[in-house]
Amino acid sequence: MTHVKTNNPNNTSIHGPVVEEVEGLIRVYKDGHVERSQFVPCVDPSLPFELGVACSDVHINKLTNVWARLYVPTVTKSSSVSKLPLLVYFHGGGFCAGSASWSCYHQFLARLSAKSRCLVMHVNYRLAPEHPLPAAYEDGVSAVLWLKKTRNDNLWYKICDFSNIFLAGDSAGGNIANHVAARLADADALIKPLKIEGTILIQPFFGGEARTESERRVENNTESSVLTLASSDTWWRLALPRDANREHPYCKPVKVKTRTLVCVAEMDVLMDRALEMCDSSEKMNKCVVYKGVGHAFQILDESPLASTMTLEMLCDIDAFIHHSEPLY
């Protein structure tokens, strides 16, 4: 993340006028210059010892500066589990903001790793508009291929079940997880012996030109959702290829053959689009709706209700990963 301070908020004498902006997050100028605010503090990989999770950062591709933060549960010799699932996670931020070092993600994924007894690899992919889609999808595929290449070279490989990998993410990261899963399904032989067991999509960011009922209902109500309809449209303009609109295939979910858990927030503008993935005809899809909370509640909302719903989400993800009875 970068934060460029300017005396003139429009900075017209240097970069021209501001052409796109999501207030408090990103500002794009006519000449292509991009400014990102420090919306969430970045933190190092350290974690409290009592949490029982070790964490470190690794380079995936030094040329593209793609890296990942790894979370590894502490497994003792007395543990009955010899191999643990691996969850490859992609953060949200409209494809244009966010980081694997954001404190809110660091806390959430450390809890997820401990609760679900799984390793987590949080991928720090390239951001739009400097790197529009499909760059993030390509980075996701590269991360999985990196796992294949280095699987026997890591200190944690002995406790990782590489045949039990889940692709997961929230918001734009949910979109990335879905599209990466589809790309890897077409290249199944390329990633063997790795196997994608399922996808976990948390309030996935999909779109379309026609408005849904939840988009009209929540629209620009920042009290119920940090993602407004206006900011959603801006993210898509910045992330999509030039001249594409919200009917582009990148805006749409792709059907995958693996099991899918879709986590939906009731007060989210994206609720209806997420529910479309949970059609009863899709027997492989499981859906959970978290009542009374908005977009990204699990990382940005500190209210008692959000804390309760976040704990429920962690339990649902744990149940989905380990094939136990889910809470829906």
Assess contact for 185 and 256: CB atoms under 8 A.
yes
| The one catalytic residue among 99, 171, 214, 231 | 171
CA dist 191 and 260 (Å) reads: 20
> By C-alpha distance, which of 198, 204, 205, 203 is closest to 319?
198
At residue 16, the 3 state secondary structure works out as coil
- The DSSP annotation for 264-310 comes to EETT-TTHHHHHHTT-TT-TTEEEEEETT--TTHHHH--SHHHHHHH
Q: How many Å apart are CA 224 and CA 242, to the nearest integer?
A: 32
Residues near 13 by Cβ (< 8 Å), separated by ≥ 6? none
Tokens standing for residue 188: 């199944």
Does 101 participate in catalysis according to the annotation? Answer: no
DSSP per residue, 106-157: HHHHHHHHHHHT-EEEEEE---TTTS-TTHHHHHHHHHHHHHHHHTTTSTTG
Are 235 and 22 in contact by the 8 Å Cβ rule? The answer is yes
Nearest to 88 by CA among 3, 13, 181, 209: 181
Cα–Cα distance, 195 to 24 (Å, whole number): 39
- Secondary structure, 3-state, 306-317: HHHHHHHHHHHH
Rounded CA gap, 141 and 192, in Å?
A: 13
H or E stretch covering 70: strand 66-73
CA distances from residue 269 to 135, 227, 247 in whole angstroms, order as listed = 25, 7, 17
Known catalytic residues?
A: 171
